Amino acid sequence: MTLYPKLITDVLKQVIYPGTKKSIIESEMLADDVRIDGQKVSFTLIFPRETDPFLKSTLKAVEAQLHYSLGKDIEVSINTEFRSAPRPEVGKLLPEVKNIIAVSSGKGGVGKSTVAANLAIALARLGYKVGLLDTDIFGPSMPKMFGVETERPYAVEKNGRQLIEPLEKYGVKLLSIGFFVNPDTATLWRGSMASNALKQLIADADWGELDYFILDTPPGTSDIHLTLLQTLAITGAVIVSTPQAVALAMREKGLICIAMRRSTCQFLGWLKTWHGSLRPNSRKTNTTSSVRTAARISPRN
C-alpha cells in the first residue's frame, strides 16, 4: 500500500481523544509535520499538558488504528508536544513562598483543622500573605469551615501553564480537594491517585507570593505525608492533640515523631485543644489529667 499524508489524516479521524470526546483531527492535535518514507510514518501529536492522563492510552490507540487500517508492516514513530509549559521540578516548586507550616495530629477529631484555619486567618489579619491547603484528600473540611462549599476554583493561564486559581476568604488563599469532588460521595482512591491529586493542588495552582503556606494535614501517617515531605521543603510543624491517653498514644506514632528526624522541618510546638472535664453538679473543671499528660509529652531532644 502506498502511504501519503491524507491517508494518515483520514485514519486519525477514527481515533477519539477522551479529553475532548472528539477525534484527534477535530481536537487539532496533529501537528503539520507528517513524514512518510516508504513504510515508515512519523508525526507529532500535541497534548494539552505533560501530565495528561490520556497521553499513553491515546498513543497506543493511534498506533493500533494505523496498524489496523494500513497494515502491520508499517513503522510508526509518534512524537509528543504540549500546549502548556511543564510543571516545575520538585526543588523549584513555590519559589515565592517563604514559610511552609504543617499542622498535624496523630489522631483525628482533635481540632487540627480548626487550628489550621484559625492560624491562617490570624496571620492574614496581622498583615501577612497567607495560603491554606487542605491536604486531607479523604476527609476535606476547609470548604465548610470557610463557608465556601458551593464555590469552585477556576483556571488561569500564567507563564504558558493552566493553573488553578485558589479561592480567597478572610484574606486567605484556599484550596481543597473538597472543591472538586462530590461532598455526598466517599472518595475511594488508592494512595497513588490521592498523592497525584495533592501534587496538582500544590504545583498546578497559582499560589503566588506568600509569607506563610499552611498545610492542614490528615491525622496519623500515610502516603499524603510522604508526598508532602518529598514535594515541599516544610519549614515548621505544629502538633495538635488532646491529653487523653488514646490521642497521646497516636501522637507518639504520628507524623512529626517520624518526619522531624528525617527532614529539616522544625518543631514549632504542641497545642492542646482540651482543657479538662466539667465535674458533675459543679462549675469546676478537672484538669489533673491534662497537666499530667502535658508534662509527659513535652518535646524531646
pLDDT digits over 144-202, tens only? 999 998 899 988 887 777 889 999 999 999 999 888 888 777 777 777 788 888 888 88
Range of 2-11, 79-88, 250-259 with top mean pLDDT: 2-11
Residue 237 near residue 102, CB atoms below 8 Å? yes
Question: What's the CATH number for 5-82?
Answer: 3.30.300.130
Q: Are 5-82 and 90-296 in the same CATH fold?
A: no
Residue spans of the domains in the chain: they are 5-82, 90-296
b vs e for 130-155, b when ≥16 Cβ sit within 10 Å of the residue's Cβ?
bbbbbbbbeebbbbebbebeeeebee
- pLDDT mean over 76-93: 77
Asked if residue 56 has pLDDT above 50, the reply is yes
Q: What is the pLDDT at residue 290?
A: 42
Q: Whole-number mean pLDDT of the chain?
A: 81
pLDDT digits over 27-47, tens only? 999 999 999 999 999 999 999
pLDDT digits over 256-272, tens only? 544 544 556 677 777 77
Question: What's the CATH number for 90-296?
Answer: 3.40.50.300
